[in-house]
Chain A
Amino acid sequence: MVAVFLAFSSMTAMAQHTVTGSVKDASTNKGLPGVNILVQGTTQGTSTDAKGHYELTAPSATDTLIFSFIGYQTRKVPIKGRSQINLTMQPQTISGKQMVVVGYGTQQKEDITGSISTVKSKNLKNTTSPMLGDALQGRVAGVSVQNSGTPGSAPKVKIRGPSTFGNNEPLYVVDGVPVGGIQDFDLNDIKSIQVLKDASAAAIYGTQAANGVVLITTKNGQKGKVRVSYNGYYGLENITQRYNMLNSRQYQKLDNEELRNANMPLAPANDPNSQYYVDPSSINTNWQDATFTTANTQNHSLTVSGGGENGSFAITGNYFNEGNTIKGPGPDYTRYSGRVNSDYTFGKFKVSEKMYYAHWDKTNLTGLHLTSPITDILHALPTQPIYSDTRLGGYSGTDSDIRKAISLNVIGANNLLESHTNTNRFLGAVTGQYNILDNLYYKVRFSYDHSLVSGKRFTPRYDLGFFYQNDIAKLDENRDKSTTQIVQNTLHYEQDFGSHHIKAFIGYTQQISEFNTIDGHAEGYSRPYFKVLSAGTENQTSTGTKNSHTLRSFLGRINYSYKDRYLVHGTLRRDGSSRFAPSNRYATFPSVSIGWRVSNEPFFADVDFINELKLRASYGRLGNQDIGNYAYSAYINSNANYVFGNQLANGATQINLVDPNIKWETNISRDIGIDMALFSNKFHVNADYYNNKAEDVLVGVPIPLSTGSNSNPTVNGASLRNKGFEFKLEYQDRSGELSYDLSANFSTLQNKVLSLGQGGKPIYGNGTKTAVGHSLGALYGYVANGIFQNWDEVYNHAYQNQKLDSNGNYDMGARDQTTAANFTAPGDIRFKDLNGDGKITSADRTYLGSAIPKYKYGFNADLQYNQWSLSMFFQGAYGNKIVNRVRQTVELMDGYGNYDQYVYDHHWTQKNHSNTVPRAIYGDPNDNGRDSKRWVEDGSYLRLKNIKLSYTLPEDLTNRIGIRNLLIYVQGQNVFTITKYKGYSPVISSVNASIDGPVGGGQSGLFSRAADVGSYPQPRTLSVGMSIDF
């Protein structure tokens, strides 16, 4: 702090005292515009001008001035009769007294003994996604994000690896309120994000914290003048990658070859001798180019905020829209949201409220039945036009007997079928606080979270060819309402006893959640379509369900420190959940952590290049109860109906086996870490080693279908180990006019399944296997070992599907075309007989790599030069493998649709004795397409996730037109990706509900994480934007 006396106070009137001065940034020594200055105890105040100067008249020369500015430490300066006060303000990022939001309170950064990562709000702005998960990607060591490129879909976030087989999303807590699902929230509102990664930080949310906790604090007003600010951007999105698919002539040639090899008649459309022959020069559709299109995206946000001595407020409104990169009405996502935050203090009482409302509309990409629409785009026949006058609906389709292909016209499906989802969500919280004593206060918070999801799907009559026809127009509508009410009572205490400092709280909370669904259906609509249920003429039906879940918790925490050197924190939480049988309802989750601030030791005083050195360690238990409701009791399905006498006959029966003894999952978390600040606080290092063990993990033990059970009973059978290192480095400095902030994070994850329950039976996913001793969802399949070049090789190899004689021996003489058409033959893949039993069986499958990267990293550079700033953000992963299911589809040469150029050029023929790509044959008698190494690819990548160039207009220019600050920028997202992966993107979302998910219906994609089943490719976005402060 610099305070300079220039002169004795001048002769001013008794009651009034005028002060002038300037405020500068302590690190850059530049004037700070817009700093709020308030006379304590009054509403009188001002703010600094463009150069950081101010002038203020205070009621008296003995008043105290409060200087505050977002991102800087607030300073209180008594006037003490001075007429000029110049001072500098410390940015909070490198401040000594930064407060960090923790569960049920805040804590000084220095005192933290757990593993907590903070995401800077300025980094949140460097994304053109509306989803929090996208903004976290690559920013925090130990956090993995799998994003889908589909507009409006929430990315999947995991902290320190998968610790459960169910939902692995962390608990999100917005302004102290645990919320389910974060996709409705506006990033512009967020002031700070803390990621709680270990038990010491997260155990206070015991019951829901096994996957880590993300604390979100929203912006409130600052004391001082009312401020208005606008932020917005407009951008264009494109899917730039392409698979190299065949043109019509090539497609016909390969398709004919494949049918000839199977001794089957050619598809008439590909047979030059047929009357149905399609001349390849007349139709040659490039479906990727025809389908992908440029989309718009835009975001506009307006904030009004302000405050006085006893209260503050912030009101925000936001509009976001992301259009579709695929032709048709969807996928498209629009969100409107508004927030009002305020707080009031009257003496010992304090009340605050946070109200948030969001409405979003999503038009969904509509596919039909078989695979992902993305795969269908590739699969579509080039000999098929897009439009057709003769088919109902106006889009072309294929006839099975003429084309011998299953080919979906994605443009047709996406335009004909309508699917919309909209959500209205309200989250409101009111908090009351009463300061009983100076060091003791009581706090109560009520929150109500309500969301209503409405879905509507209309299927008109259409004809899109074989398999894709619909003769009865139908409408489905659903309303899903979920509500959560939470009451939190806490009593907080803080006191110094000499060198001892104690901070503690105890609390009681309870939560009631309900979920109700209503679905309506009607059919028989005729043109003109009135798309309401009452207009349906047939089959009007309705269904509905109700679900409720309650939680009761007792919690407490104590933080103790001695001489600011030795820190001990302990938390305890006891939770009761309605999701378990009465005998297993309650569980206790303790944690303890210790810290040693070595740099505060007297012997460390001489080490001047180290500003801060702290060693810390933590241990604790976290719980998970996210297993769905009523899972401990076997229920009767009362819709197992039948028909007698042409009337519905009600049937009821148990269809699933359950384990009534299920109880909590426990995640035992251990962490040791070091925090350092070096070289005048310019260089920061954080490092952690963690070793977590998830126990009693609920797993849907895969049981034989012969039990008759429709689903796998959930038991507390599995345990998992996740361990790894996390590093974060940051260097901030300036050199002349250039200031820079470089940061990097790096994390490793080793995941291992320790047990799987019921004899450790493995769980098979989509080309994956989860087994004891291996990582979750490891890739699994056969080893392709070259191609049979001749019949001798075929009959000298282990049994695959060679022709057998009536004694069951190889029919060695069978070497003709008929044999080749039906059995293993030259040109087929030779699979390795790993167990050497002379037969290729499922026992010859092996592990083909891990779905989990060996390490993940992010690198961020922020450079500032005068009015210009440039930020670049790279992120990537190394060492994981992907099963490219999309490539498996287009390289199979098995007759469903179009093929990839690569197999056209390289496949085995009598003349071209390839040793990598097998022959083309319809029916694939050797099962060349089976899960094997052939489809496994390296998923490592490095991506320039974001680059942003900004220019701040000179202050003297903007001030003239009454603008405090005006910044314009151009920004690019997903600019380029360096990878060997051959698909659209190595960043995949792998949900495949029909195959995946022993717990809770497979929402997680966990067991098939490695499978690219046709993920929506993430677009490249280029945008321009501005932000204005008035």
Chain B
Amino acid sequence: MKFSSFKILVVVLVILGFLSSCDGNLLNQHNPNEQTTQTFWKTKEDAIKGTNAVYGALQLDGSYMRFANTVPDLRGEDTIADSPWNVMTASGDFSLTATMLPVRLMWKVFYEGIFRANQVLENVPDIKMDQNLKARLLGEAHFLRGLYYFHLLKLYHNIPLVLHTAQGQEDYDVPQADPDSVWAQIEKDFKAAIPVLPKSYNGNNIGRATKGAAESYLGKAYLFNEQWKKAADQFKKVIDSGEYGLVDKYRDNFTVKNENNKESIFEVQFSKSAGGNIIGWQAPPSSAWGETQARSITYAPTGFGWGDIEPSRTLYNEFKKEKTVNGKPDPRLRASLFYDYPGETVYGVPFDSAYTDTTEIFWRKYESDTPGGSEIDAKSGINIRLMRYADVLLMYAEAENNLGNTPVAYTYIQKVRDRANLPDLSNTKPGLTQQQMQDQIAHERFLELNGEEHRFDDIVRWGWLQDPQKLNWLQQRDSEFKGYSKGHEYLPIPQSELDTNPKLKQNPGYGS
């Protein structure tokens, strides 16, 4: 290199060094990936997206992707754990501890849903947009917030009531509320939703909360509080609305083909085709997340999924007590369970060649049962029906029976029995007393709603765990109940939550 060109090189370096130092905006770097809270909540589209996100919490691991199904189901006597994973067995025999995964995750995701609902309720009112749409979106947020609190209350009983997004440190630690005040809030939220929600949707809005969903849940909330008249009124409104009816085939409630049918009042939407491909177990949502649930793999028969959860022999036997008017087995049995009978196949494989032990029984409900297929990709697109019309009919019957109108109960129970082609109860069991009818309703609910997370709720609200005779009876039906001890009808408050929020107390029965 010649001296002169060398000199030029150094001079150029020096000039560049100075020039590059003169960019005044150098330090202004904005997130190029996401909007911020300052730029969001401005338009109609923001309001819709924000509301959609509230529904999103229904799909997470702590909610209906998995644990909101499995934990309540395992606690009932229709379902038993057969898993090497202690979380499953512990859910079944009431030994979940405060540090176990589902205890933490369910708490987490339902409060995530509430956080999202609170954002909508705080921000959408100020957006300039179509008033009817705005009212509807706010109604949806109210409905979902009520639904999430309903879940938290059923699961944990003593919970903080958070109705606003935290603005600073002083808002973080919220003490546990009196359960009655949470019930009052649930009632308030459902009542706020009813007048603004439409009766139905079409097209790309199918699956949103309807007036009927809010009325049904309001009725259910009253039922849980034994406010029978108010409950009956709500259920009657739903029944009289004419929007709903029972589908002909019971199994149509549990497959991917017949989603959002006339029997479905509210269901959690899943889809194998929509969204990405990653199972969104935990962590912040990403565009790669799929919209699938893992209930199906968890409940799937051994060899076609994990087989963590099986129907109980008690359920099978109780079904065997019912015969159709033609003397055939209750069709709901075969729609709900895989078991060995001539012609039975499991995912296309004859039962007796899939299993050497032909006394085994497995769940068919919510399983795809596709010939040649399986559930082992852990991605099922089958929607989870949270509120079915059949449930409303049975709840209405129960409310009326408690109001002394046992004949009305006969009528509405029979609507559900008729679909299964079972004989008329007023012929086979005429003249039941109010208490006998209550027992009959328990039986009907056990069969009709098996494996749909309702049984344990019923057991708790009917006070069976406090009744030594009933508890003993349950222990005969499901030995997992031998692990029950007082207080364990509710889950422990997650240890991590006790650690971070000094205002909380552990639930009774968990060492506090």
State whether A444 touches B31 (Cβ < 8 A): no
- Name the B residues within 8 Å of A956 (CB-CB): none
With both beta carbons as reference points, the residue of chain B lying nearest to A469 in the complex is identified as: B376
Interface check B129, CB cutoff 8 A: no
Q: How far is the CB of A86 from chain B (nearest CB, A)?
A: 39
For the complex, give the distance between the alpha carbons of A471 and B347 in Å. Answer: 15
Q: How far is the CB of A741 from chain B (nearest CB, A)?
A: 43
26 contacts between A and B (CB under 8 A): A275-B356, A346-B7, A349-B10, A399-B302, A400-B82, A432-B9, A433-B10, A471-B376, A541-B277, A541-B287, A547-B32, A578-B26, A578-B29, A635-B33, A636-B34, A640-B56, A641-B285, A642-B269, A646-B274, A648-B274, A651-B52, A708-B114, A842-B506, A922-B89, A923-B90, A925-B95
Instruction: Count residues of chain B with CB under 8 A from any CB of chain A.
Output: 129
Q: Mark A953-991, 1 if CB is under 8 A from B, else 0.
A: 000000000000000000000000000000000000000
Contact of A344 among B1, B85, B159, B499 (CB under 8 A): B1
Interface check A422, CB cutoff 8 A: no
For the complex, give the distance between the alpha carbons of A443 and B254 in Å. Answer: 74
With both beta carbons as reference points, the residue of chain A lying nearest to B115 in the complex is identified as: A708
7 shortest interchain CB distances as A-B pairs: A708-B115, A651-B53, A653-B53, A651-B52, A640-B53, A444-B17, A432-B13
Interface check B199, CB cutoff 8 A: no
For the complex, give the distance between the alpha carbons of A708 and B84 in Å. Answer: 32
Interface check A841, CB cutoff 8 A: yes
Task: Give A residues with C-beta under 8 Å from B.
Answer: 263, 275, 344, 346-347, 349, 351, 399-401, 403-406, 430, 432-434, 442, 444, 446, 466-467, 469-472, 474, 487, 489, 508, 510, 512, 519, 521, 523, 539, 541, 543, 545-550, 552, 576-578, 582, 585, 629-630, 633-657, 701-711, 715, 758-759, 761-762, 764, 799-801, 803-808, 818, 821-823, 839-842, 894-896, 922-925, 927, 930
- Name the A residues within 8 Å of B485 (CB-CB): 803-804, 823
State whether B204 touches A647 (Cβ < 8 A): yes
State whether A655 touches B285 (Cβ < 8 A): yes
Q: How far is the CB of A410 from chain B (nearest CB, A)?
A: 17
- Please indicate which of the listed interface residues A346, A430, A922 has the most CB atoms of chain B within 10 Å of its own CB: A346
Of B169-177, B185-193, B245-253, B388-396, the one with at least 4 CB within 8 A of chain A: B169-177
- Name the B residues within 8 Å of A404 (CB-CB): 84
With both beta carbons as reference points, the residue of chain B lying nearest to A402 in the complex is identified as: B302
State whether A543 touches B288 (Cβ < 8 A): yes
Beyond A641-B285, A644-B206, is A630–B172 a contact (Cβ under 8 Å)?
Answer: no
Beyond A400-B84, A487-B17, A649-B204, is A546–B56 a contact (Cβ under 8 Å)?
Answer: no
Q: How far is the CB of A905 from chain B (nearest CB, A)?
A: 24
Interface check B441, CB cutoff 8 A: no
- Please indicate which of the listed interface residues B37, B59, B104 has the most CB atoms of chain A within 10 Å of its own CB: B37
Contact of B35 among A585, A635, A801 (CB under 8 A): A635
Interface check B40, CB cutoff 8 A: yes
State whether A822 touches B512 (Cβ < 8 A): no
Contact of B36 among A633, A702, A821, A894 (CB under 8 A): A633
Contact of A401 among B82, B107, B288 (CB under 8 A): B82
State whether B21 touches A706 (Cβ < 8 A): no
Interface check B329, CB cutoff 8 A: no
The count of A-to-B residue pairs whose CB atoms sit within 8 angstroms is: 350
Contact residues of B between 157 and 184, Cβ < 8 Å to A: 159-160, 162, 165-166, 169, 171-174
State whether B502 touches A761 (Cβ < 8 A): yes
Of B213-221, B228-236, B404-412, B489-497, the one with at least 4 CB within 8 A of chain A: B489-497
State whether B89 touches A633 (Cβ < 8 A): no
With both beta carbons as reference points, the residue of chain A lying nearest to B176 in the complex is identified as: A706
For the complex, give the distance between the alpha carbons of A446 and B207 in Å. Answer: 58
Other A-B contacts than A550-B27, A799-B511, A801-B511, 6 sampled, CB-CB below 8 A, are: A344-B6, A349-B7, A640-B116, A654-B37, A808-B486, A894-B86
State whether B107 touches A705 (Cβ < 8 A): yes
- Please indicate which of the listed interface residues A474, A521, A541, A706 has the most CB atoms of chain B within 10 Å of its own CB: A706
Q: How far is the CB of B5 from chain A (nearest CB, A)?
A: 10
Beyond A470-B376, A646-B271, is A652–B50 a contact (Cβ under 8 Å)?
Answer: yes
- Name the B residues within 8 Å of A638 (CB-CB): 34-35, 49
Beyond A349-B6, A640-B116, is A895–B49 a contact (Cβ under 8 Å)?
Answer: no
Q: How far is the CB of B170 from chain A (nearest CB, A)?
A: 10
- Name the A residues within 8 Å of B356 (CB-CB): 275
State whether A704 touches B497 (Cβ < 8 A): yes
- Name the B residues within 8 Å of A275 (CB-CB): 356
- Name the B residues within 8 Å of A761 (CB-CB): 500, 502
- Name the B residues within 8 Å of A708 (CB-CB): 111-116, 118, 162, 165
- Name the A residues within 8 Å of B288 (CB-CB): 519, 521, 541, 543
State whether B509 touches A705 (Cβ < 8 A): no
Interface check B428, CB cutoff 8 A: no
Contact of A707 among B98, B172, B277, B504 (CB under 8 A): B172
State whether A550 touches B10 (Cβ < 8 A): no
- Name the A residues within 8 Å of B307 (CB-CB): 400-401
Beyond A404-B84, A762-B499, is A643–B285 a contact (Cβ under 8 Å)?
Answer: no
Interface check B210, CB cutoff 8 A: no
Q: How far is the CB of B117 from chain A (nearest CB, A)?
A: 9
For the complex, give the distance between the alpha carbons of A543 and B99 in Å. Answer: 34
State whether A710 touches B284 (Cβ < 8 A): yes
State whether B111 touches A707 (Cβ < 8 A): yes
With both beta carbons as reference points, the residue of chain B lying nearest to A758 in the complex is identified as: B169
With both beta carbons as reference points, the residue of chain B lying nearest to A657 in the complex is identified as: B166
For the complex, give the distance between the alpha carbons of A466 and B305 in Å. Answer: 8
Beyond A539-B277, A642-B56, is A634–B37 a contact (Cβ under 8 Å)?
Answer: yes
- Name the A residues within 8 Å of B479 (CB-CB): 263
- Name the A residues within 8 Å of B17 (CB-CB): 444, 446, 487, 489
State whether A633 touches B40 (Cβ < 8 A): no
Q: How far is the CB of B257 from chain A (nearest CB, A)?
A: 11
Beyond A471-B377, A634-B37, A654-B37, is A642–B21 a contact (Cβ under 8 Å)?
Answer: no
For the complex, give the distance between the alpha carbons of A642 and B269 in Å. Answer: 7
Interface check B483, CB cutoff 8 A: yes
Beyond A641-B285, A707-B111, A709-B115, is A405–B84 a contact (Cβ under 8 Å)?
Answer: yes
For the complex, give the distance between the alpha carbons of A404 and B119 in Å. Answer: 45
- Name the B residues within 8 Å of A546 (CB-CB): 32-33
Beyond A578-B27, A708-B114, A822-B95, is A400–B162 a contact (Cβ under 8 Å)?
Answer: no
- Name the A residues within 8 Å of B26 (CB-CB): 510, 512, 550, 552, 578
State whether B495 touches A842 (Cβ < 8 A): yes
State whether B49 touches A651 (Cβ < 8 A): yes
For the complex, give the distance between the alpha carbons of A344 and B34 in Å. Answer: 48
- Name the A residues within 8 Å of B95 (CB-CB): 801, 822, 923, 925
For the complex, give the distance between the alpha carbons of A88 and B113 in Å. Answer: 79
Q: How far is the CB of A436 from chain B (nearest CB, A)?
A: 11
Interface check B306, CB cutoff 8 A: yes
- Name the A residues within 8 Å of B34 (CB-CB): 635-638
State whether A523 touches B160 (Cβ < 8 A): no
- Name the A residues within 8 Å of B165 (CB-CB): 654, 657, 708
- Name the A residues within 8 Å of B160 (CB-CB): 704, 706
With both beta carbons as reference points, the residue of chain B lying nearest to A994 in the complex is identified as: B282
Q: How far is the CB of A465 from chain B (nearest CB, A)?
A: 11
State whether A804 touches B509 (Cβ < 8 A): yes
Contact residues of B between 261 and 317, Cβ < 8 Å to A: 269-271, 273-278, 283-289, 291, 302-303, 306-308
- Please indicate which of the listed interface residues A707, A804, A808 has the most CB atoms of chain B within 10 Å of its own CB: A707
State whether B512 touches A648 (Cβ < 8 A): no
State whether B108 touches A705 (Cβ < 8 A): yes
For the complex, give the distance between the alpha carbons of A295 and B494 in Å. Answer: 45
- Name the B residues within 8 Å of A639 (CB-CB): 284-287, 289
Q: How far is the CB of B338 from chain A (nearest CB, A)?
A: 14
State whether B302 touches A400 (Cβ < 8 A): yes
Contact of B487 among A403, A585, A758, A808 (CB under 8 A): A808
- Name the B residues within 8 Å of A446 (CB-CB): 13, 16-17
Q: How far is the CB of A482 from chain B (nearest CB, A)?
A: 15
State whether B500 touches A539 (Cβ < 8 A): no
For the complex, give the distance between the alpha carbons of A346 and B2 in Å. Answer: 10
